[in-house]
Amino acid sequence: MITTEKQREQTNMQDESMDGGMDPEANGGVDGATGGGNNGQSEANKKARDKNGEKNGEKNSEKNGEKNATGPGASGSESGALRARKAREARGDAAPATPRVRAKCTTPLFQVHTLKHFLSYSRIPQIMENCVLDALSTNRRLDHMLIHGAPGCGSTLLARALIRDHAARRVVEIDALHGCEVAALCDAVERVADGGVLFIRHIELLDGACERFLMEVLGHMGNPTMNRIEPPKRPRERTGPGSAFDDAIAESARPIERPRAENAKRKEPKDPTDPKAPKVGASGFTLIGTAHITARIGYEMRTRFEHLFHLRDDPKGQRMATVRALRARNIRVDPSTLGILAKILGSLHDCAEQLVRAVMARAELDQIDSIDLETMFSIVTEDLPDRLPNEYYASALRRHLGMRRVDEITEAEVTRVSIETSWGDMATRTAFLTMIREDRVKSVAM
């Protein structure tokens, strides 16, 4: 009996082990009935994990390599940016633009939201702000203004800030540099006829027909401060109802209707009572113009403007604007570079935008966010001349020399001008050669 019971227990244990091996949930599958299937599956899972681990290890090593290459502790003959670029080229993928780079490419370099944002050491923005406050407080139109100065002085930025502060009902902007016809000018006047602002850039480039049209419109706007009727010189003349003087007053109070210019594209309506007929001077608008050479504007046209603002050279203000534009793009400028910035911006007109772009390009190439004196000098003498034409440097050299004629180049004069302007020897020498060549061409032509 004892032997039989022991044999029976052993038989039951074998049956349980057999049933457990055949249970898929117990041993992980049908192949695990003998135990060998379990080992096979574990080996397959191990191989898959090893492959995934190798891939993840390669990715992590590449990422760590890029971080170490671009980190502050990178060393060796190659820079961190160069090693990171080589690592990306080896993998065959392109470097995506960072959010900061995309912001630099899309946002404008210089922004002047209001007159207070315009950086200048003159009182012109304050005077313009007073004009705007006076017009708004008295509920009248803004005075006509002409803003002129050298290229790059900020006349367009200042004019747009003035228009934003005034908050006119409608604003029309025209650039005479691209051409302007009388028909387009007439349409613009009609659009801003009721308290709007007409902004004309490079107003000195308007032709004679457009200038005469503007003088006619501005001279008959019905402004009581400009077209005031003077009292009669003969006091004994009858001034009661029905007199000639009373008729003149009644006639002057009516809206003035004037035909369009002869070369206008649209046909003038035959019926003067037509609501589509242009009523020039029926209501007031404001004319704001910018110019570089006011001598090209006729005297009568200049007298139509009530304020003339001359934006003189302001290197300190341009330097502040340049530093602010770079700070907005996470690039810090060391205070030791302010001197060379003032020299460059004072000697080269309208170069602030190209200077900012050159600094941004150098910061991206060198992976730096701070510009010291050595880096700024390298940018000004090596990178900036590639962004500006040689004729630009030659024109600036003429102003620097006081229009003095130079027939030959001397090393002493090149060194002196290079130190005074911070252009660098190469750019200064090229400016001298370009200026001498231009003078010779003019002498041969004469």
Angle, helices 411-421/390-400, rounded to nearest 10 degrees: 90
What are the b/e assignments for 323-355, b being 16+ CB within 10 Å? bebbeebebebeeebbebbbbbbbbbbbbbebb
pTM of the model: 0.56
Quick one: pLDDT at residue 412? 92
Quick one: pLDDT at residue 6? 53
Write the DSSP symbol of residue 196: -
What are the b/e assignments for 76-115, b being 16+ CB within 10 Å? eeeebbbbbbebeeeeeeeeeeeeeeeebeeeebbebeeb
- Supply 398's token pair: 């003429």
Quick one: pLDDT at residue 361? 93
Residue 336, φ and ψ in degrees, nearest 5 = -70, -15
Domains and CATH numbers, the chain: 122-227+277-311 (3.40.50.300), 315-445 (no CATH)
- Supply 102's token pair: 């995309």
Sole residue written with tokens 């052993």: 10
d(CA 161, CA 288): 12
- Between vectors from CA 116 to CA 110 and to CA 117, what angle results, nearest 5°? 15
Quick one: pLDDT at residue 310? 92
- Supply 31's token pair: 């192949």
For 307, residues 6+ apart whose C-beta sits below 8 A from its C-beta are 131, 143, 144, 145, 146
Per-residue model confidence as pLDDT tens for the chain (446 residues) = 444 555 555 555 554 444 444 443 333 333 333 344 444 445 555 555 555 555 555 545 444 544 444 444 444 445 555 666 666 666 555 545 444 444 444 566 667 677 877 777 778 888 999 999 999 898 888 999 999 988 888 888 899 999 999 888 889 999 998 888 999 999 999 999 888 999 999 999 999 899 999 988 887 544 443 433 333 344 445 555 666 666 666 665 555 444 444 444 444 443 434 444 444 443 588 999 999 988 899 888 998 899 999 988 888 888 888 998 899 889 999 999 999 998 999 889 888 889 999 999 999 999 999 999 999 999 999 999 999 999 999 999 999 998 888 888 899 999 999 999 999 999 999 999 999 999 888 888 76
Q: How many helices (H) and strands (E) does the chain have?
A: 19, 7
The kind and range of the H/E element at 101 are helix 99-106
Quick one: pLDDT at residue 254? 55
- Supply 416's token pair: 């002196």
pLDDT digits (tens, 9 = 90+) for 49-78: 555 555 555 545 444 544 444 444 444 445
d(CA 312, CA 156): 14
